[in-house]
Amino acid sequence: MKYAEIVKHPEILEYYAKGSQILAKLGYTDHSTAHTKLVAERAASLLEAFGYDEHDRELAKISGFLHDIGNCLNRNRHAEYGAILANEILKDTDLPLKDRIQVVSAIANHDESTGVAADPIAAALIIADKSDVRRNRVMERSKSRFDTHDRVNYAVTASELIFDSDKNLIELSLTIDEEICSMYDYFEIFFDRMMMCSRAAKVLNAKFALLVNGQKIL
């Protein structure tokens, strides 16, 4: 099964619809297919920049699109639930066993609380996912109801992930409106995620850098 088929798979789309409904009630930012398609394409672009072949890029896209499917069961341990759901779907396809295990392993390990980048596919997924910080991830609701996650994402007025294979560098550059979100709020939410990106970059023989308002933070 190819990525082009995965993004149209009725069962997968239903899981994401239910997951989005649940996360909206819990007050989370967007984890719909808009997010997962971005993650899929970004993970593939990252691997391409560092010389990985089309097969690896395809697995990164499949992993990226499926990585948040577990939210339809529960946000807590959604990575592990998502891996189980993805395995149930993919085992009935023509995806080779080795590739299926690679995909479900990457999904199971993308969360910063329990996961680890053990290989390039998982590393690309982690960096692509954790670097998706942007204003339009905030669900539509009154600003008076924003929590810290909402404020942090809404404060990001510009975001760019830059790949420089010549310098072995992956750089996330953010512009933040500090009238909306303080640097303290940002790091309270994102420090663990950025450190996970730093560890993931090492799997790709690269360094991860974070720039906020033009200043190097990491």
Each residue of 96-110: pLDDT tens digit?
999 999 999 999 999
Residues in the chain: 218
Q: What's the confidence (pLDDT) of residue 143?
A: 62
Task: Specify the number of domains making up the chain.
Answer: 1
Q: What mean pLDDT is reported for the chain? A: 91
Name the pLDDT band for 148 (thresholds 50, 70, 90): low
Does residue 145 surpass a pLDDT of 70? no
Q: Which domain holds residue 197?
A: 3-216
Say if residues 55 and 108 touch (Cβ distance below 8 Å).
no
For the segment 31-57, what is each residue's pLDDT rounded down to a tens digit? 899 999 999 999 999 999 999 999 999
Q: What CATH number did the domain enclosing 45 receive?
A: 1.10.3210.10
Residue 39: strand, helix, or coil? helix
Mean pLDDT (whole number) for 157-162:
92
Q: What's the confidence (pLDDT) of residue 182?
A: 74
Beta pairing class for 207-212 and 215-216? antiparallel
Half-sphere exposure of 41 (CA within 13 A, CB side): 9
**CA 31 to CA 36: how far, in whole Å?**
7
User: What percentage of the chain has pLDDT greater than the value 90?
Assistant: 73
**CA 111 to CA 7: how far, in whole Å?**
22
* Claim: this prediction has a pTM higher than 0.85: yes
Mean pLDDT (whole number) for 189-214:
93
How many CB atoms sit inside 10 A of residue 26's CB? 8
Residue 136: strand, helix, or coil? helix
**What amino acid occupies position 131?**
S
